[in-house]
Amino acid sequence: MILGIETSCDETAAAVVTLEGEVLSSVVSSQADLHARYGGVVPEVASRRHLELVAPVVREALDGAGADLGDVERIAVTQGPGLVGALLVGVSTAKALAWARRLPLTPVDHLRGHVASLELGGEPVESPFVCLLASGGHTLLLLVHGKTDEPELLGTTLDDAAGEAFDKGARLLGLGYPGGAAIDALAQEGHAEAFSFPVARVPGLDFSFSGLKTALLYAVRDLGERELERRRADLAASYQCAIVRALTERVLAAAEQTGVPRIAVVGGVAANSELRAALPAAHFAPLSYCTDNAAMIAAAARHVRPLAYPEYLDLDVYASRP
Ligand code: KG4
Ligand code: ZN
């Protein structure tokens, strides 16, 4: 069994996954409510909360799997990218647990974890495939050659991430934080053609979402308070439609340009119902493993060489990919 730990942002998560990739337990404790009043994640608040939650969350994951530390063969932990203070809580916990039992430890890249969420149920995706990773912190187009190879970067965002665009839009619409799921739900009651929002045309396979956010800001301002109330669902639907169009156009272009027809979508935004509908032939990560979780970290650890005791004791975290 692999015990996975994930603390890169505002979710404290632990999971037990077998070496074959079967999830025995997956516990995610979200701090979203704690950060909601600030409209986004406050790093120092996140670190302190991880510190309080990490031990009970690991305990719950072990209990859920009907296991104890003696059954664990390997510890996997997110090393980066993410908030350094938050990552340090997970890495220190992982080191302490591994050290206590002289277990091997596998540091996992959070983005490789999202790609590995495709292995947690659903139809397996055959390599190579084009992978859209769209979350609150990243929007990447990757060409994945195989489970152990470093994915090739085809495109990324020049400004905001797709999830960030959803969150900022939700804030402008008064829907709270995080806002992706709230926009998704409200959009079902609106008309996507009601407002015409721009899709940025940047060269190559990159994305840009900052102009879209500004367009929504102006639309909200022009409507005024009362009209905004009446048109909120239309705004949500039109705004979501523009983000989904930008993502779909680029991922299809990537498949065309690389000659690799298989497409997969992972990350928090992969939970979006309109994006799922817009790419009916694509492989999507299972809904419960789209947003941050530790099962995907444990799954990814299966393809990385573990560090033996005591090699990992001086392991450090990273904020962005080295
Ligand atoms: O992967 P994730 O949990 O965290 C990062 O690694 O960043 O992604 C969180 C992001 C948030 O921006 C959230 O608003 C977005 O995923 N999200 C959604 C939906 N559910 C979560 N965006 C659009 N539609 C959804 N249903
Ligand atoms: Zn993530």
Same domain membership, residue 145 and residue 196: yes
Same domain membership, residue 105 and residue 193: no
In a domain, 166, yes or no: yes
Same domain membership, residue 222 and residue 295: no
- List all residues 6 or more positions away from 179 whose beta carbon is below 8 Å from its beta carbon: 166, 167, 168, 169, 170, 171, 173
d(CA 310, CA 105): 9
Span from the CA of 2 to the centroid of ligand 2 (angstroms): 20
Two structure tokens written together for 257: 């340009």
Question: What's the whole-model pTM score?
Answer: 0.96
Two structure tokens written together for 167: 């969150």
Helices (H), 142-209: 162-172, 180-187
pLDDT reading at 298 higher than 90: yes
CA angle 92, 96, 102 (to 5 degrees): 135
In a domain, 218, yes or no: yes
Same domain membership, residue 266 and residue 151: yes
In a domain, 206, yes or no: yes
List pLDDT tens digits, range 173-212. 999 888 999 999 999 999 999 999 988 889 999 999 999 9
Two structure tokens written together for 26: 């997956």
Same domain membership, residue 226 and residue 147: yes
Q: Are strands 74-80 and 105-109 parallel, antiparallel or unpaired?
A: parallel
d(CA 174, CA 172): 5
Pocket of ligand 1 (CB under 6 A): 9, 135-137, 163, 166-167, 178-181, 184, 267-269, 271-272, 291-292
d(CA 315, CA 221): 49
Same domain membership, residue 300 and residue 215: no
In a domain, 242, yes or no: yes
Range of the domain at 99: 2-115+290-314
Cis peptide before 178 (omega within 30 of 0): yes
Instruction: Name the residue with the closest Cα to ligand 1, atom 22.
Output: 180
Mean model confidence pLDDT for the chain: 95
Span from the CA of 291 to the centroid of ligand 2 (angstroms): 6
Contact 173, 235 (CB under 8 A): yes
Span from the CA of 22 to the centroid of ligand 2 (angstroms): 20
Q: Which of 244, 290, 247 is nearest to 268 (CA)?
A: 290
**Among the atoms of ligand 1, which is closest to the Cα of residue 163?**
12
In a domain, 120, yes or no: no
Helices (H), the chain: 32-36, 43-64, 84-101, 110-116, 162-172, 180-187, 210-258, 273-278, 295-301
What is residue 34's predicted lDDT score, i.e. its pLDDT? Answer: 84
In a domain, 180, yes or no: yes
d(CA 14, CA 57): 6
In a domain, 322, yes or no: no
Same domain membership, residue 296 and residue 277: no
- List all residues 6 or more positions away from 128 whose beta carbon is below 8 Å from its beta carbon: 143, 144, 145, 146, 260, 262
Instruction: Name the residue with the closest Cα to ligand 1, atom 16.
Output: 268
Same domain membership, residue 81 and residue 33: yes
* Residue written as token pair 């995706």: 125
Span from the CA of 260 to the centroid of ligand 1 (angstroms): 26
Same domain membership, residue 95 and residue 196: no
Total domains in the fold of the chain: 2
Ligand at shortest distance from the CA of 178: 1
Same domain membership, residue 265 and residue 238: yes
List pLDDT tens digits, range 102-157. 999 999 999 999 999 999 987 889 999 999 999 999 999 999 999 889 999 999 99
Same domain membership, residue 200 and residue 303: no
What is residue 35's predicted lDDT score, i.e. its pLDDT? Answer: 84
CA angle 276, 278, 281 (to 5 degrees): 75
Same domain membership, residue 203 and residue 97: no
Q: What is the CATH number of the domain that holds 32?
A: 3.30.420.40
In a domain, 122, yes or no: no
- List all residues 6 or more positions away from 214 whose beta carbon is below 8 Å from its beta carbon: none
* Residue written as token pair 């492989």: 283
